[in-house]
């Protein structure tokens, strides 16, 4: 068991080690960061070591399969990248910084649990562990009262979403007599006329995930949280924390959708509203972190569209896009963090003339933004192509047409930033961006985005080999 | 093993490009080391590959699916056969020599890192093109080669003339690239494959002859490709960019605009020459037509070379003319002869350009007379190199050009193609005339020791030859002497050489062409060397004006641009501003209106957010329940 759950135990161990090491605040921030980096490296190694594990555990409530194990690798990679790039925690009081690293692994553990959850009970516990870690992280920036405010909003919306979800779970339990997914699928398979409780139950459970993904109608927390949280926290929210919601939601959708076509339509429509909302409101933002909050809302919409794609191609599409979504947001937020040295909470104006201040940052931003916008030959284009073609194969051609229009809309605000970075004039009070920063990490990530676009088969072939359709269906 | 060597050959330059971009842009020494290391790896691997070939039927192909899973669709990979390996060897050895030479030539440039990065990028593109197993990869690398050429022509972009020349080269070759793209689409739709091997299969013969639009695929694809070849290999009517491209650093001219990139079009023709076997009579006629155009180009550009005062421009026009010869060879079916001329020409023309570069570097002027006044004739090694290169270019025994030019002439003679044969002999005369003129001018114009910029730059006592320039000049001079013999010695390993049943044809063409070249050199000496008038150029009038205006080709371009192109663009601009922009503005306005509405939903009041969530969830549940 120890071996099978290696990544989870590694995250738990990391959490405990950090808890004891930072107890009493006698470790410097720099040391805590290096410890975190090293521990996240261990978690990544553990996740890779456990990649071939499979099986049902804990009374069929916890499932290890190629899908969950690959997501754990992605999450561990995301944790490590966050530890590497998401530093320093400028706006968090020194005394609280060590708590951040503790919560960092608590959230990491919760995400891994979510990737494998196979019962509504595990799901709920993992979800709450993740949510509570994130609430605290968002509220850590004490210097701004807005940070507390948005943290409280986040808690209220989160609590509501999870209450609705739990209420839905009770319906499902009423309909199937079990909290286990296997039992749920068995009862779906058995009859063509489902219990009247099942559909409302599933829709309500869905709410919790829409909240995690910041999808409509539970998106409202995201812009405030991203903007007012410390930037490394925003990076964490935008990059790795999304993976957990995607991993679980797709597992549920994939299992349920063959039996409930209506469910597919619900997700599809919510996906369209989510992406349209995200893209259109992003037009009007001046705060960069807020803008990327809306951008990530829109990206979640694309992913949700891919989830209802054709059965054989959807898993690879969703996992591929999750991976590059992670990379793109890491790069974007790494650049935002660099710019923060110039003043807290970068606005569009602080991107002016970035090219002249630091060509590498501008290049990385250009690649990441073009990729987010889906410009060939970058990874984002190919990822979107996989998502959309899968959805089109699944018979949702009109949804896809609408999504492509959305993709065009999104060009506007992405290119706006590129224009500012390349053609804008350097602000007079700008400080030098020559020294420091995680140059190499940013460069490597940027090259990865370009290469995955030029030669996506490196990843898609590997993902196809993992045979997700078989491991996702019980 | 060969596959790995091939991959190493092609990938080391791109690795060098990335590494230089990452760490070498501000560290010239690092950039030079990376770049030359990569070039050495390429050269060693390419040489090993070529030496391993001992059968014209040798062929190894490895492809990987690209973008799509279906391997019958888009693939990238390598095709290693004698044709590609000969080209790969030429590219890698010339690029190695040129990079070595550039260590001296570029030593005073502040942006050396960038220079070596661009050269590496170019080498990658050129090699990727050379080993391409299909038209798609060819096309992509073809375009990348164009980019590399653009970046390097305009390398000194602080000079307006360099920036203009780079733009001209890019745009003019782009016209040709449209042809390539059309060929690509036609092959994809008509033949159903882009793979060279599959296209050349015997079973495809009927498909090539399938009718489309009044002719057949063989004809249309050939014509579309000729357009591409005319652009890249600088043939009529798209050759005007090449002389202007001389604005780039001279090593670049040697590498790109003499030995490799401009030969890409010739190589593409050789690659596609199976059309001559599979295609219809009409397709073969089309190739012959191309040969005629190339022959005319060779004569026209050779004539213009006579009146050039810029030493690089003489060689640029000469390059156009020699490329014409290669295309004449391939267009009339003598693929091996065409490739032979490509092979030998790469060495002696690179030699001539690098020699010109040595003079220019020393005398700080491109003008032949300026160089001579500054004492260019006293530079022993470059003068020797100029002599060897010129002898090879004029085609005198035993220099390399003699063998390769005669191979083409002999083919025309044996085929009984008297018109082309006659024109080719006229070309030999012109070549000898303009080539020897450079030497005569160098020797005739007296040196004026205190002239020129040499003093200002610190090499006060006479002219100075860069220390890294000696090896490339020496080696290339040697190669210009022996390359023809090497080819004759090795070529049966590479190509099926048609056996001679023509008796004395070789001897006759050799004697006739040597006599004509000698006549050209002699006549040139009468005009430029023995005549006593101070400036022989001044005495030229009439026909010379036509030549000096480059057949008014640039003016014709301008006339077309002004009278046709600009009115069309003006019209399209109106369409753009009124219809397209109007529509887009409309979309923008609508989007913004919606955005404003949506943004209003983000009130900041958590009650509103929750209310919205509740209403939506309840609505979804109710709608689903009611069904």
**B599: nearest CB among A276, A281, A457:** A281
Q: What is the pLDDT of residues A187-228, one digit of tens each?
A: 888 776 677 788 888 889 888 889 888 888 888 888 888 888
Q: Indicate if the pLDDT at residue A298 is higher than 60.
A: yes
- Residue at A347 is within a domain: yes
**Among A222-231, A412-421, B94-103, B598-607, whose mean pLDDT is lowest?**
B598-607
- Nearest-CA neighbor of A441 among A358, A292, A330, A320? A330
**What does the pLDDT look like over A411-458, one tens digit per residue?**
888 988 888 888 888 777 666 666 655 778 888 888 888 888 888 888
In DSSP terms, which residues pair with B310 in a beta bridge?
B367
**A54 found inside a domain:** yes
Under 8 Å CB pairs connecting chains A and B tally to: 80
Beta bridge partners of A56: A63
Closest-CA distance of chain B to residue A50, Å: 28
For residue A39, CA distances in Å to A18, A465, B336, B492 come to 9, 30, 64, 64
A94, part of any domain:
yes
Q: How many angstroms separate the CA of residue B185 from the nearest CA in chain A?
A: 20
Residues A283, B627: C-beta atoms closer than 8 Å: no
Helices within A283-378 (DSSP H only): 288-307, 314-339, 354-357, 359-373
Answer whether residue A156 is part of any domain.
yes
Q: If you measure CA to CA, which chain A residue comes closest to B614?
A: A217
Q: Across chain B, which distance is largest between two alpha carbons, in Å?
A: 108
Residue A342 has pLDDT above 70, yes or no: no
A207 touches chain B (CB under 8 A): yes
Task: Read off the pLDDT of residues A228-280 as tens digits, 9 standing for 90 and up.
Answer: 888 888 999 999 999 999 999 999 899 888 888 888 888 999 999 999 989 98
Closest Cα in chain B, distance from residue A164 (Å)? 9
pLDDT at residue B536 tops 60: no
Residues 64-93 of B with CB under 8 A from A: 64-67, 69
**Residue A1 is assigned to a structural domain of this protein:** no
Least confident stretch, A201-215, A327-341, B336-350, B551-565 = B551-565
Question: Does the beta-carbon distance from B616 to A220 stay under 8 Å?
Answer: no
- Nearest residue, CB atoms, B598 vs list A157, A262, A280: A280
Task: Enumerate the β-bridge partners of residue A347.
Answer: A287
* Contact call for A161 and B610, based on CB within 8 A: no
pLDDT band at B352 (very low <50, low <70, confident <90, very high): very high
Band of the pLDDT at B461, cuts 50, 70, 90? very low
> Quick one: pLDDT at residue B13?
93
Which chain B residues are within 8 Å of A260, Cβ to Cβ?
none
- Residue A42 in any domain: the answer is yes
pLDDT of residue B541: 64
Tell me: pLDDT of A344 over 70. no
Residues of A in contact with B65 (CB under 8 A): 457
Q: Which of A113-117, A394-398, B217-221, B517-521 has the highest mean pLDDT?
A: A113-117
> In A, which residues are within 8 Å of B618 by CB distance?
none
Domain count, chain A: 1
* B605 lies within 8 A of chain A by CB: no
In this structure, is residue A239 part of a structural domain? yes
Residue B76 is predicted with a pLDDT of 87
Confidence band for A305, pLDDT divided at 50, 70 and 90: very high
What is the pLDDT at residue A301? Answer: 93
Q: Look at residue B92 and tell me whether its pLDDT is greater than 60.
A: yes
A473 at B interface, C-beta within 8 A: no
* Higher-pLDDT residue of A288, B534: A288
Among residues of chain B, what percentage have pLDDT more than 90? Answer: 26
Binned at pLDDT 50, 70 and 90, residue B456 comes out as very low
C-alpha B468/C-alpha B81 separation (Å) is 34
Percent of chain A with pLDDT over 70: 96
Q: Which of B66, B588, B620 sits opposite A266 (nearest CB)?
A: B620
How many angstroms away from the CA of A51 is the closest CA of chain B? 25
Q: What is the pLDDT of residues B547-578, one digit of tens each?
A: 777 777 888 888 888 888 888 888 888 888 88
What is the reported pLDDT for B581? 83
Å from B184 to nearest chain A CA?
Answer: 20
Q: How confident is the model at residue B428 (pLDDT cuts 50, 70, 90)?
A: very high
Q: What is the mean pLDDT of residues A384-396?
A: 90
On the question of pLDDT at B460 being above 50, the answer is no
Q: What is the ipTM of this complex?
A: 0.82
Mean pLDDT is lowest, of A290-294, A356-360, B28-32, B92-96, for A356-360
d(CA A298, CA A406): 9
Q: How far apart are CA A46 and CA A39, in angstroms?
A: 10
Distance between CA atoms of residues B454 and B447, nearest Å: 13
Cis amide prior to B237 (ω within 30 degrees): yes
Q: Kindly state whether B188 is in contact with chain A, defined as any CB-CB distance less than 8 angstroms.
A: no
The terminus-to-terminus CA distance of chain B in angstroms comes to 66
A376's CB contacts (< 8 A; 6+ apart) are A382, A453
Q: Which two tokens stand for residue A182?
A: 């296997």
Structure tokens at A396: 């949702």
Residue among B588, B602, B620 minimizing CB distance to A220: B602
Task: Enumerate the residues of chain B whose CB falls inside 8 A of the CB of residue A220.
Answer: 602, 606, 608-609, 612-613
Whether B342 and B263 have beta carbons less than 8 Å apart is answered as: yes
Looking at the complex, does the CB of residue B1 fall below 8 Å from at least one CB of chain A?
no
A-chain residues within 8 Å CB-CB of B617? 164, 203-204, 207, 217
Compute the average pLDDT of residues B367-393: 86
Residue tagged 């001046």 (tokens): A286
Residue in chain A nearest B610 by alpha carbon: A157
Judged by a CB distance cut-off of 8 A, whether residue A217 touches chain B is yes
Report yes or no: A229 and A237 within 8 Å, Cβ to Cβ.
yes
Report how far residue B258's alpha carbon sits from residue B266's, in angstroms, rounded to the nearest whole number: 12
Percentage above 70 pLDDT, chain B? 94
Rounded to 5 degrees, what are φ and ψ at B527?
-75, -45
Question: Cβ separation of B624 and A455 shorter than 8 Å?
Answer: no
d(CA B139, nearest CA chain A) in Å: 16
pLDDT tier, A152 (very low <50, low <70, confident <90, very high otherwise): confident
Nearest CA in chain A to B626: A196
Question: Quick check: A217 and B612 CB within 8 A?
Answer: yes
Answer yes or no: are the C-beta atoms of A141 and A92 closer than 8 Å: yes
By C-alpha distance, the chain B residue nearest A454 is: B67
Q: Which two tokens stand for residue B144?
A: 């990348």
A62-64 and B211-212 strand pairing: unpaired
What is the Cα–Cα distance from A384 to A453, expressed in whole angstroms? 11
Q: Do A207 and B613 touch (CB under 8 A)?
A: yes
A13-17, B9-13, B562-566: which range is least confident on average? B562-566
Query: Tell me: the pLDDT tens digits for B431-443?
Result: 998 898 888 888 8
Q: Is residue A230 part of a domain?
A: yes
> How far is B78 from B394, CA to CA, in rounded Å?
36
DSSP designation for A378: S
Q: Cβ distance A296 to A222 under 8 Å? A: yes
For B51-73, what is each residue's pLDDT tens digit?
Answer: 888 888 888 888 888 766 666 67
Q: Does the pLDDT value for residue A463 go beyond 60?
A: yes
Alpha-carbon distance B258 to nearest alpha carbon in chain A (angstroms): 31
Contact A217 B613 (CB under 8 A): yes
**Which residues constitute the domain of residue A102?**
6-472
Under the banding of pLDDT at 50, 70 and 90, the label for residue A303 is very high
A454 to chain B, minimum CA–CA distance in Å?
8
Judge contact between A86 and A35, C-beta under 8 A: no
Asked whether the predicted pLDDT for residue B458 surpasses 60, the reply is no
- Residues in chain B within 8 Å Cβ distance of A224: 604
Higher pLDDT, B625 or A294: A294
Residue B79: C-alpha distances to residues A257, B6, B185, B334, B336 (Å): 47, 9, 21, 22, 18
The pLDDT of residue A128 is: 92
Q: Is A135 on the interface with B (CB under 8 A)?
A: no
Mean pLDDT rounded to a whole number for chain A:
86
Binary contact (A457, B64; C-beta < 8 A):
yes
Residue B314 has pLDDT above 60, yes or no: yes
**Digit-coded pLDDT (tens) for B243-286:** 888 888 889 988 888 888 899 999 999 999 888 888 888 888 89
Structure confidence at residue B142 as a pLDDT band (50, 70, 90): very high
A443 touches chain B (CB under 8 A): yes
Q: How far is CA A113 from the centre of its chain?
A: 15
């Amino acid at each position: 068991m120890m071996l099978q759950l290696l990544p989870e135990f590694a995250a738990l161990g990391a959490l405990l080690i950090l808890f004891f090491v930072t107890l009493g605040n006698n470790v410097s921030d720099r040391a805590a960061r290096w410890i975190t980096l090293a521990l996240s490296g261990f978690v990544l190694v553990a996740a890779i070591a456990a990649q071939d594990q499979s099986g049902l555990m804990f009374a069929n409530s916890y499932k290890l399969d190629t899908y969950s194990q690959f997501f754990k690798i992605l999450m561990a990679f995301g944790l490590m990248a966050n530890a590497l790039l998401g530093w320093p925690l400028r706006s968090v009081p020194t005394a609280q910084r060590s708590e951040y690293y503790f919560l960092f692994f608590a959230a990491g553990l919760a995400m891994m649990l979510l990737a494998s959850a196979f019962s509504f009970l595990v799901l709920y516990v993992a979800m709450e562990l993740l949510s509570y870690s994130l609430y605290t992280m968002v509220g850590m920036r004490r210097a701004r009262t807005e940070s507390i405010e948005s943290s409280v909003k986040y808690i209220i919306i989160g609590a509501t979403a999870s209450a609705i979800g739990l209420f839905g779970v009770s319906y499902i339990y009423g309909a199937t007599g079990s909290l286990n997914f296997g039992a749920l699928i068995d009862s779906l398979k058995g009859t063509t006329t489902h219990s009247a409780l099942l559909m409302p139950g599933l829709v309500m459970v869905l709410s919790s995930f829409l909240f995690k993904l910041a999808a409509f109608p539970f998106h409202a927390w995201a812009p405030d949280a991203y903007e007012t949280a410390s930037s490394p926290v925003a990076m964490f929210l935008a990059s790795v924390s999304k993976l957990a919601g995607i991993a679980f939601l797709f597992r549920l959708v994939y299992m349920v959708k063959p039996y409930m076509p209506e469910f597919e339509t619900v997700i599809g429509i919510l996906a369209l509203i989510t992406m349209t909302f995200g893209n259109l409101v992003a037009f009007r933002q001046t705060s960069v972190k807020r803008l990327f909050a809306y951008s990530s809302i829109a990206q979640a919409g694309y992913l949700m569209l891919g989830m209802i794609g054709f059965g054989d191609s959807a898993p690879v599409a969703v996992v591929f896009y999750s991976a590059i979504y992670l990379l793109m947001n890491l790069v974007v937020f790494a650049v935002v963090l660099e710019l923060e040295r110039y003043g807290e909470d970068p606005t569009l104006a602080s991107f002016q003339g970035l090219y002249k201040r630091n060509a590498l940052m501008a290049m990385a931003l250009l690649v990441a933004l073009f990729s987010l916008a889906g410009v060939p030959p970058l990874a984002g284009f190919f990822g979107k192509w996989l998502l959309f073609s899968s959805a089109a194969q699944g018979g949702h051609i009109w949804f896809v047409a609408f999504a492509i229009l959305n993709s065009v809309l999104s060009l506007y605000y992405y290119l706006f930033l590129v224009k500012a970075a390349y053609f804008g004039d350097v602000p007079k009070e700008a400080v030098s961006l020559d020294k420091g920063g995680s140059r190499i990490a940013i460069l490597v990530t940027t090259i990865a985005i370009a290469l995955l676009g030029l030669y996506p088969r490196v990843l898609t072939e590997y993902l196809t080999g993992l045979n997700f359709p078989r491991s996702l269906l019980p | 093993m060969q596959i790995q060597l091939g991959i190493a050959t092609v990938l080391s330059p791109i690795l060098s490009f990335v590494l230089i971009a990452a760490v070498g842009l501000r560290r010239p020494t690092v950039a030079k080391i990376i770049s030359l290391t990569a070039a050495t790896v390429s050269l060693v691997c390419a040489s090993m590959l070529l030496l391993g070939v001992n059968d014209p039927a040798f062929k190894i192909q490895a492809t990987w699916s690209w973008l799509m899973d279906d391997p019958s669709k888009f693939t990238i990979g390598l095709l290693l056969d004698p044709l590609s390996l000969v080209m790969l060897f030429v590219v890698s050895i010339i690029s190695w020599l040129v990079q070595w030479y550039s260590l001296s030539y570029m030593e005073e440039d502040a942006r050396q890192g960038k220079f070596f990065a661009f050269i590496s990028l170019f080498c990658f593109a050129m090699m990727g093109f050379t080993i391409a197993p299909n038209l798609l990869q060819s096309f992509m690398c073809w375009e990348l080669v164009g980019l590399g050429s653009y970046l390097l022509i305009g390398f000194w972009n602080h000079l307006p003339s360099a920036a203009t020349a780079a733009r001209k080269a890019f745009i003019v070759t782009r016209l040709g690239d449209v042809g390539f793209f059309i060929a690509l689409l036609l092959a994809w739709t008509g033949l159903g494959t882009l793979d060279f091997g599959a296209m050349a299969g015997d079973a495809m013969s009927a498909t090539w002859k399938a009718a489309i639009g009044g002719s057949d695929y063989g004809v249309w694809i050939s014509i579309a490709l000729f357009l591409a070849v005319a652009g890249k290999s600088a043939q009529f009517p798209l050759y005007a960019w090449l002389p202007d491209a001389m604005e780039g650093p001279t090593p670049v001219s040697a590498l790109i605009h003499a030995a490799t990139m401009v030969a890409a079009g010739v190589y593409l023709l050789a690659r596609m020459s199976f059309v001559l076997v599979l295609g219809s009579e009409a397709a073969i006629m089309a190739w012959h037509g191309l040969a005629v155009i190339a022959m005319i180009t060779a004569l026209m550009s050779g004539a213009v070379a006579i009146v050039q005062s810029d030493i690089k421009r003489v060689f640029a026009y000469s390059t156009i003319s020699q490329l014409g010869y290669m295309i004449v060879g391939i267009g009339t079916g003598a693929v091996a002869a065409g490739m032979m001329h490509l092979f030998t020409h790469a060495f002696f023309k690179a030699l001539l350009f690098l020699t010109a570069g040595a003079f220019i570097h020393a005398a700080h002027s491109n003008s032949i007379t300026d160089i001579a006044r500054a004492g260019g004739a006293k530079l022993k090694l470059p003068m020797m190199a100029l002599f060897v290169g010129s002898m090879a270019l004029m085609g005198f025994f035993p220099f390399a050009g003699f063998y390769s030019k005669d191979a083409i002439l002999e083919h025309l003679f044996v085929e009984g193609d008297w018109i082309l044969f006659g024109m080719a002999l006229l070309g030999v005369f012109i070549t000898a005339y303009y080539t020897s003129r450079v030497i005569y001018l160098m020797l005739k114009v007296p040196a004026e020791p205190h002239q020129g910029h040499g003093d200002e730059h610190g090499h006060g006592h006479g002219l100075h030859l860069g220390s890294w320039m000696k090896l490339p000049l020496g080696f290339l001079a040697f190669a210009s002497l022996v390359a023809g013999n090497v080819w004759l010695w090795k070529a049966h390993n590479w190509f099926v050489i048609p056996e001679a049943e023509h008796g004395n044809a070789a001897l006759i063409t050799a004697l006739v062409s040597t006599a004509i070249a000698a006549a050209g050199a002699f006549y040139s000496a009468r005009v430029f060397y023995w005549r006593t008038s101070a400036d022989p150029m001044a005495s030229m009038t009439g026909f010379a004006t036509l030549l000096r205006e480059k057949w008014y080709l640039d003016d014709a371009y301008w006339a077309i641009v002004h009278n046709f192109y600009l009115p069309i663009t003006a019209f399209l601009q109106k369409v753009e501003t009124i219809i397209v922009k109007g529509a887009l503005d409309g979309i923008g306005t609508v989007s913004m209106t919606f955005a404003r509405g949506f943004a209003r939903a983000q009130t900041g009041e958590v009650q509103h957010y929750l209310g919205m969530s509740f209403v939506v969830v309840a609505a979804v549940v109710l709608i689903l329940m009611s069904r």
